[in-house]
Structure 1
Amino acid sequence: MKTQNNVNFQRIEEAIGYLRNNFRQQPNLDEVAEHVHLSPYHFQRMFTDWAGVSPKKFLQYISTAYAKKLLKEEQATLSEVAYETGLSGTSRLHDLFMNIEGMTPAEYKNGGKSLVINYSFADSPFGEIMVASTKKGICHLAFSVDEERSLNGLRNQFPNAQFNQHLDMIQQNALFLFTHDWSKLNEIKLHLKGTDFQLKVWETLIKIPSGGLSTYGQIARQISNPKASRAVGSAVGDNPVAYLIPCHRVIQSTGQIGEYHWGSNRKTAMIGWEAVQTN
């Protein structure tokens, strides 16, 4: 006998399959809801509860992944990519990439050739950090032991970009968090590039509150991929923006602190510091 949960899961599974098979037609909410015999309102709520993102966002992830493949592997033009992805034109392709990738399709294709990146070094409670930004937001934040080495690491991420050592307002708003000025939190914008899976994981990390902790398994379940704990761990390790995307708040299910790109001792100190600030 099927339980209601089983019926609901089958409907969501069917909806996901429908979106994957028909994303080039860019089906709207009403069309997908009708396919699984639900009202648009009920389907929207159910899909978001089970998949962790809205049907629209899930469709955007699929469309972006396909568009990225066309741009990188087949060197398609922007018009060709827009057409093959089922978008009405290059302006919609532009909006899709800005929403999911934080950069234009052209910027993604040419390795940041048209990007101007400002960077600076600053002190934090956990050691020196390097912070970098474009006009769209923070693209990199990392703890630094050697400034030249840190800059080379940034250049490897954006091999064709122009770099200026300059502290701008975008960086200053981010650095305010280390001085307890949380009023600037809403002013911080991020400019990220990554796979759809990485972006989904990073988006989930941002929702972990200061002073709170999560596990790799919990993150995997939140993105409706409970068997992907190892893949979540890899995405957490690839986080390009330390602290603002709080990968340090993810620990092992056993309660152990676990590894951290910038050292487990620093991770322990950050968790303890946040616990004090929130008490």
Structure 2
Amino acid sequence: MNEQDQINYQRVAEAIAYIQTNFKHQPGLDEVASHVHLSAFHFQRLFTEWAGVSPKKFLQYLSVGHAKQILQQPESTLFSAAHDTGLSGTGRLHDLFVNIEGMTPGEYKNGGENLSINYSYTWSRFGGLLMASTPKGICYMGFVENKAKTFEVLTNKFPHAKFTEQLDEIQENALRVYNSDWDHIDQIKLHLKGTNFQLKVWEALLKVPSGQLSTYGKIAEQIKSPKASRAVGTAIGSNPVAFLIPCHRVIQSSGALGGYRWGETRKSAIIGWESAQLEMAQAV
């Protein structure tokens, strides 16, 4: 990924936000293109190159009706669909390739004392990223709007750790997910600071296949705490690893997309992009 990808994403994100805000009057291609200061031809080409589908088709993936249709499918169908397509790599990624290791009680309580953490800023398909890793795995991955504020979030999690700005092999391996380079990914290990309940919720999120959706209630049932939907929502909201732990795939039971700690527009972009990738794989 390079800086041009970042510019392209910003234009696509601006277009998605505009379409969603003005959804009731169904803005046409010319209107949306004008809003992002492009000709209709160039905007259509840019959007299709980024998402793989037209802006109109992409918007369908973000509709409440489409979300409800996905949520009504049996879970067995969701899992088999993900594994039977050309995107089986994403299914394997979230079922087999990502391993969560919780920090020890000592590491949890002392704010990362004696931990050495490497961090780096990089680009992804969905915007700038701050990635951080310990020798055991990725400990943080967040989208960046403001470098100083995002780094402050990281250091607040581990106030006593030693930080070194360095892109290491652990981060490079995880970054391949954003490049869709799934055939060359080694097992991704996450070294996370969280309560037992949070870790259970985050592990459950890994089982939601790419291009599919779940709800807070379903995640609560999956971890055998059916009455804990609100607590599940809080744990999902505190997910420290964007995209790899796919909290963006959890929506409201009504079909509404709901909130996202890294912005609702970005959540929409990721959900729409994953839906497009799945549909294109099924068509092959």
Equivalent position of 1:208 in the other structure: 208
Q: Identity of counterpart residues, as a percentage?
A: 61
Letter in 1 for 2:204: T
Alpha-carbon distance in structure 1 between the residues aligned to 2:107 and 2:227:
33
- 1:224-235 paired onto structure 2 within 5 Å: 224-235=224-235
Equivalent position of 1:111 in the other structure: 111
- 1:1-279 paired onto structure 2 within 5 Å: 102-279=102-279
Alpha-carbon distance in structure 2 between the residues aligned to 1:122 and 1:195:
29
Cα deviations by residue, 1:1-23 (Å, 9 ceiling, x for unpaired): xxxxxxxxxxxxxxxxxxxxxxx
Once the 2 structures are TM-superposed, how far is the Cα of residue 167 of structure 1 from its aligned partner?
0.2
Letter in 2 for 1:253: S
Range with bigger deviation, 167-176 or 185-194: 185-194
Alpha-carbon distance in structure 2 between the residues aligned to 1:133 and 1:264:
26
Cα deviations by residue, 1:207-245 (Å, 9 ceiling, x for unpaired): 111111100011011111111111110000000001000
Alpha-carbon distance in structure 2 between the residues aligned to 1:208 and 1:185:
19
Once the 2 structures are TM-superposed, how far is the Cα of residue 150 of structure 1 from its aligned partner?
1.0
Letter in 2 for 1:117: I
Once the 2 structures are TM-superposed, how far is the Cα of residue 138 of structure 1 from its aligned partner?
0.3
- Aligned residue pair count: 181
SS at match of 1:218: helix
Letter in 1 for 2:164: N
- Asked which structure has the greater RCO (Cα within 8 Å, sep 6+), the reply is 2
Alpha carbons of 1:131 and 1:232: their partners in 2 closer, same or farther (altered >3 Å)? same
Q: Which runs of 5+ in 1 are unaligned?
A: 1-98
Letter in 1 for 2:233: G
Alpha-carbon distance in structure 1 between the residues aligned to 2:236 and 2:152:
21
Cα deviations by residue, 1:123-155 (Å, 9 ceiling, x for unpaired): 111110111000000000000111111111111
CA RMSD of aligned residues (A): 1.5
Alpha-carbon distance in structure 2 between the residues aligned to 1:100 and 1:172:
18
Letter in 2 for 1:235: A
Alpha-carbon distance in structure 2 between the residues aligned to 1:203 and 1:247:
11
Cα pair 2:220 2:232 within 8 Å, conserved: yes
Q: Which runs of 5+ in 2 are unaligned?
A: 1-98, 280-284
Alpha-carbon distance in structure 2 between the residues aligned to 1:101 and 1:191:
5
Cα pair 1:101 1:194 within 8 Å, conserved: no
Equivalent position of 1:65 in the other structure: none
Larger radius of gyration: 1
TM-score (norm 1): 0.62
Alpha carbons of 1:138 and 1:204: their partners in 2 closer, same or farther (altered >3 Å)? same
Cα pair 1:177 1:184 within 8 Å, conserved: no
Once the 2 structures are TM-superposed, how far is the Cα of residue 109 of structure 1 from its aligned partner?
3.5
Cα pair 1:202 1:236 within 8 Å, conserved: yes
Cα pair 1:216 1:250 within 8 Å, conserved: yes
TM-score (norm 2): 0.61
Cα pair 1:129 1:141 within 8 Å, conserved: yes
SS at match of 2:177: helix
Range with bigger deviation, 107-116 or 241-250: 107-116
Alpha-carbon distance in structure 1 between the residues aligned to 2:278 and 2:185:
16
Range with bigger deviation, 108-117 or 208-217: 108-117
Alpha-carbon distance in structure 1 between the residues aligned to 2:201 and 2:259:
17
Alpha-carbon distance in structure 1 between the residues aligned to 2:236 and 2:104:
24
